[in-house]
Structure 1
């Protein structure tokens, strides 16, 4: 099974809702950080990929999955798009200020924690954000640059820039599928983010 959809959007752009939406539409299972955190082998593999000590076999990494969104895979959208040339590219997006506000309550708390010297947090900090997660302007600039890079890399026949909150219509039109008779998913609010991370991390260590 090859990937059908590659998510190029940063975390906190509605990626968990998009994961669930794609699975409702039949593009599941969909890879997400939530598939990585509780799984020791995947967690260690992605650390090696980010460190450059593991050369990924993308077919094996995504074996059994039809789509991927969110980090850690989103950092590698260029490599994945080249390896899976027939895939659609999905850029989940929200206004940069809104995105940053959500990041501050969630992911940035991990990336800024000096005690987190292992795992995915320091790797996201050092690779995606170039080692600087304290400067708001820099963090937003990295986000905006990723959006611009993705949008300049693909034409409209392959890329959908999906605005958070847009519902089913643009996604289903892009994928040429019928709109489901269920509401577009919502979830992963900032208030529940940390609890879910703790539960998934405990599952990996059990």
Structure 2
């Protein structure tokens, strides 16, 4: 199939809503961190990719038409080179401070526990083996340790987010790059993909409250 959209945005930038929207627009699955919860073998693939051992992207992501959120967006350079016709979608929040507030209360909270050596496992939606659980922990540690110089320091995390936005903007040709915020809805996506705008509201999913509740339900707290 080949990716038509390569997400380059950090988590907590509307990526769950984008997943739903892109699946509707493209008629095919969109890869998101949630996929690792139901495809536990994928964690080892992403962990190894972070270490420099890249998979066959066309085979690994063969059933997907798009990918957003980590771990896909961590590899936006590799994937945008592998799929040169794909749109690079840089999702962001209206301000770095609003992004940090959402990230701090959800994703970072769980990652920090893992980095502190908390014995509780990261949440999952299916039964996994000890090897799969270890690979998932190593993947998360690699992602967050690589992204943030100090995941416990607010200013350091915000600075990393702002640097990431600047690097993507400077690296991707304007003709291929779409910046998108959760309030932008269908129009920019449909224009960039040359698709009609659906006659229904844009999906809005995975609020901070929703994610915290899910973390509790999945044993993430």
TM over 0.5: yes
For 1:89, the equivalent position in structure 2 comes to 88
User: Structure 1 stretches of 5 or more lacking a match?
Assistant: none
Provide the alpha-carbon RMSD of the alignment: 1.9
- Of the three residues 184, 197, 205, the one matched with 1:166 is 184
TM-score scaled by length of structure 1: 0.90
Q: Does 1:124 align with 2:143?
A: yes
- The number of equivalent residue pairs is 200
Q: Does 1:187 align with 2:205?
A: yes
> Offset at 1:25?
0.7
Cα pair distance change 1:175/1:111, threshold 3 Å = same
TM-score, normalized by length of structure 2? 0.84
Contact 1:111 1:124 in 2 (8 A): no
The residue number in structure 2 matching 1:176 is: 194
TM-aligned CA deviation for residue 175 of structure 1: 1.2
CA distance in 1, matches of 2:11, 2:118: 18
Alpha-carbon distance in structure 2 between the residues aligned to 1:200 and 1:48: 26
2:157 aligned with 1:139: yes
Partner of 1:145, secondary structure, is: helix
Partners of 2:57 and 2:210 in 1: CA distance:
31
Consecutive unaligned residues of structure 2, counting only runs of 5 or more, are 120-133
CA distance in 2 between partners of 1:199 and 1:31 (Å): 22
Aligned to 2:55: 56
Counterparts of 1:26 and 1:55, CA distance in 2: 26
